[in-house]
Structure 1
Amino acid sequence: MSGRLRVGGAELAWERAGSGDPVVLVHGSWDDRRSWSGVVPGLSRSHTVVRYDRRGHSESTAPPGQGTVIEDAEDLLAVVDELAGGRAHLVGHSYGASVVLLAAARRPSAARSVVVHEPPLFASLTGDPAAEALRAEAAGWMRRAAELIEVGDAEGGARTFVEHVGFGRGAWEALFDAEARATIVANAATWLDQHRDPNRLAVDPAALAGTGVPVAVTTGTDTLPIYRAVVAALAGALPDLTVLPVEGAGHAPHLSHPAAYTALLLDRLRATG
């Protein structure tokens, strides 16, 4: 089943499959709901799985003006209300993980559990010179990606981000096929809008402390150093956080290791009821 949901001036394209306790999947920057295609078949055998294009991405629209991460969080809560019965397991990748954390903090009753993969909470990397250096390096590459998009080189900006911030050198061609690369380039303007949101990296995971929402972070054993630092910061902010490694994976286990990542998700969903 698929359709469109109007919320906050945007129209979100969505799909739903399976039956059972609902799970909502939130994609990261640059891509869309199709990035979850490797995990939906396994999850939908025991769960109702909802996925959607975030506002401004691919088949979803966005109104004129500066977008915000708060709008993304409110969109997610609307998706939970309208398509998942008001309460669901929330799973997010990268920037979508930040959206999940913010939505769950704003309304804990909407989250049966939270599983996030390496949210880019770079604002949390303070107090340690090594972590601050990683943050500064990532900021420099993001500025470069934005500059390239602004002068009309969307592919150059996308490749700069993918290889220097998101996934590592060589990932542009090794991790993404031609269709995925085309999707990334097509969503470059939306990433640029996101990049201009002053609050995009400042989600506070500590807001979930004491809410009773079970929170787990998955992390690839071969991920980039900056995401290792973010996971460590998350563990410091949330004492009850469960950290689940994905062996051999990097920043996108749903793409590179879908079977292992699906099995990990299913184990976590069973554990949290």
Structure 2
Amino acid sequence: MAEITLRDGTDLHYELAGDGEPLVLIHGGFTESLTWEQSLPGLAARFRVVAYDRRAHGLSGAGTGERSVRGDVADLAELVERIDLGPVHVASFSYGAVVAMALAVERPELVRRVAAHEPPLLGALAGRDEHAEVLANVMEAYAAVRALLEDGEDERGAALFVDTAIGPGTWASLPPEARARFVQHAPAFLADLRDPDTVLGMDVEPFLSLDRPLLLTYGGETPPMYVAICDVLAEALPHARLHTFDSAGHVPHVSHPEDYVAVTSGFLTA
């Protein structure tokens, strides 16, 4: 267990494991660095891995400023610089994938390669008739999640998010301790939704200048919004390539860790 205090006084928790080229793992919304525990040993066998809790998640402090994607990027850049990692590989999923891609755009000197699983850039689907129904349904669901969280209905909001982002019936299948972690992170997710530059509104344009090798992945059993987003991004970003984890969904690093480690490691060391 390790910790740094950021310039604004916020404590950021991280764990180090393994040897090799540096690799930072970025978790998604409603989660923390513990989500990587199934894949961490395999990745640490090939890389110097840093798994950290984003601000207001896990063991990291919340700070006093507003939550934002740009704030997460600034936190990550400071972490990389403060522990002297040099340019890093980044593996990420969901909201964390947006942070990873944004870091590669804003601070390219800190990034080698990016593996991004299912970034929820719903704005990338806006104005595309073939994706209009998918986009409308998902935006309606996220609006309902936000309404529940605004009303203090953290468990109901977390349940709706999980069943929307991962798949219907997922919440009911989770053990009590997993549900408790989702509920714990409900305030942080609500803060993410309040971000004026929320990832749900971002489109392709902010990432057109991304010039680092980018692996975009999605699961063969994932909700259709992620497939559509990755297809749009792969078509628009010249340095991107696509891969499908055929039997997986939104969290292949949890459900199919051996496959995730093999594909991600192979791309990062290519």
> TM-score per shorter chain, which class?
over 0.9
Q: Which runs of 5+ in 2 are unaligned?
A: none
What SS class does the counterpart of residue 269 from structure 2 fall into? helix
Shift in Å, 1:152: 2.2
Shift in Å, 1:66: 2.6
CA contact (8 A) 2:220 2:244 kept: yes
CA contact (8 A) 2:92 2:117 kept: yes
TM-score (norm 2): 0.94
Larger displacement relative to structure 2 (44-53 or 121-130) = 121-130
Shift in Å, 1:59: 1.1
What SS class does the counterpart of residue 146 from structure 1 fall into? helix
CA distances 1:78-104 after superposition (whole Å, capped 9, x unpaired) = 122123523100111100000111111
Give distance in 2, aligned partners of 1:154 and 1:211: 36
CA contact (8 A) 2:9 2:63 kept: yes
What SS class does the counterpart of residue 249 from structure 1 fall into? coil
CA contact (8 A) 2:141 2:160 kept: yes
CA contact (8 A) 1:8 1:75 kept: no
Aligned counterpart, 1:161 = 161
Give distance in 2, aligned partners of 1:207 and 1:199: 11
**Which structure 2 residues correspond to residues 87-102 of structure 1 after superposition, within 5 A?**
87-102=87-102
Aligned counterpart, 2:267 = 268
TM superposition outliers: structure 1 runs of 4+ over 6 Å: none
Aligned counterpart, 1:147 = 147
Distance 1:144 1:206, change over 3 A: closer
Larger displacement relative to structure 2 (193-202 or 117-126) = 193-202
Distance 1:254 1:173, change over 3 A: farther
Aligned counterpart, 2:257 = 258
One-letter identity of the residue aligned with 2:177: E
Is 1:230 the counterpart of 2:229? The answer is yes
Select which of 193, 196, 199 maps to 2:197.
Answer: 199
Shift in Å, 1:206: 5.1
Is 1:132 the counterpart of 2:132? The answer is yes
CA distances 1:114-172 after superposition (whole Å, capped 9, x unpaired) = 110010000111232241322222121112112222222211000011102x1010111
Give distance in 2, aligned partners of 1:53 and 1:216: 22
Select which of 175, 178, 181 maps to 2:176.
Answer: 178
Give distance in 2, aligned partners of 1:141 and 1:7: 37
CA contact (8 A) 1:53 1:59 kept: yes
Aligned counterpart, 2:248 = 249
What SS class does the counterpart of residue 62 from structure 2 fall into? coil
TM-score (norm 1): 0.93
Distance 1:137 1:211, change over 3 A: closer
**Which structure 2 residues correspond to residues 63-142 of structure 1 after superposition, within 5 A?**
63-83=63-83, 85-142=85-142
Distance 1:173 1:259, change over 3 A: farther
Aligned counterpart, 1:213 = 212
Shift in Å, 1:15: 0.5
Give distance in 2, aligned partners of 1:92 and 1:199: 19
Aligned counterpart, 1:22 = 22
CA contact (8 A) 2:101 2:210 kept: no
What SS class does the counterpart of residue 112 from structure 1 fall into? strand
Distance 1:51 1:128, change over 3 A: same
Shift in Å, 1:199: 0.7
Give distance in 1, aligned partners of 2:216 and 2:195: 24
